[in-house]
Amino acid sequence: MAGKPKLHYTKGRGKMESIRWLLAAAGVEFEEEFIETKEDLEKLRNDGVLMFQQVPMVEIDGMKMVQTRAVLSYIAAKYNLYGKDLKERAWIDMYVEGTTDLMGMIMYLPFQPADTKENNLALIIERDGASIQQSHGHDYLVGNKLSWADIHLLEAILMAEECKPDILSAFPLLQAFKGRMSNIPTIKKFLQPGSQRKPPADEKFIAVVRKIFNI
């Protein structure tokens, strides 16, 4: 029997957080080996376990997987969160790609001037929220069954609310979606204090990341 997946990354969210979310929602226990110094990262690179010399890296099913999208696709397919056919998979991919763009924009907000942050966030949510609301009227985004798309969107919604708590006030369908998804037992567990979910980055953590990745 294969052991638990092992995740190699920093102690923060970054590109690994969506992988944590997907594994947790699938009910899969995982271990983490944190990269805390530049030397930790160099050791992985020197050991030859990082294709393209990049993290996140996930050890799963005898593989050492890199490239976030590849890891997420594998996990989604393995745990039946990737639709029942090619058309459903295409819809899931569209939602995931759009949501990934949204999360990327949110991640960059801390680096923007304070007086433009809130306006930019509002514009992001207004555009993407309206689009998502109009495209579905079911409990789940695709195939009326929990998929990677639902999990990814919930992660994005919670990220947005951390920046602006009332961000969903104009989107009742998204509010209802958030409530349903947050009460799925595996997700509810991941949202509890003490889980492997990581907090938003603070200045101290950003300084550590800059040192590790020399940025």
Strands (E), the chain: 6-9, 31-34, 57-60, 63-66
Q: Does domain 86-184 have CATH number 1.20.1050.10?
A: yes
The pLDDT value recorded for residue 125 is 65
The pLDDT value recorded for residue 73 is 97
The pLDDT value recorded for residue 214 is 80
Judge if 6-79+191-204 and 86-184 fold alike in CATH terms. Answer: no
- 6-79+191-204 CATH: 3.40.30.10
User: Around Cβ 61, how many Cβ atoms within 10 Å?
Assistant: 11
The pLDDT value recorded for residue 67 is 95
pLDDT per residue, tens digit, the chain (215 aa), is 468 999 999 999 989 999 999 999 999 999 999 999 999 999 999 988 899 989 999 999 999 999 999 999 999 999 999 999 999 999 999 999 988 887 887 777 665 666 666 666 667 666 666 666 555 557 899 988 999 999 999 999 898 888 778 878 878 888 889 999 999 999 999 999 999 999 988 888 888 888 888 87
What is d(CA 56, CA 95) in angstroms, rounded to the nearest whole number?
A: 22
What is d(CA 210, CA 215) in angstroms, rounded to the nearest whole number?
A: 5
Domain ranges of the chain: 6-79+191-204, 86-184
The pLDDT value recorded for residue 1 is 47
The pLDDT value recorded for residue 110 is 61
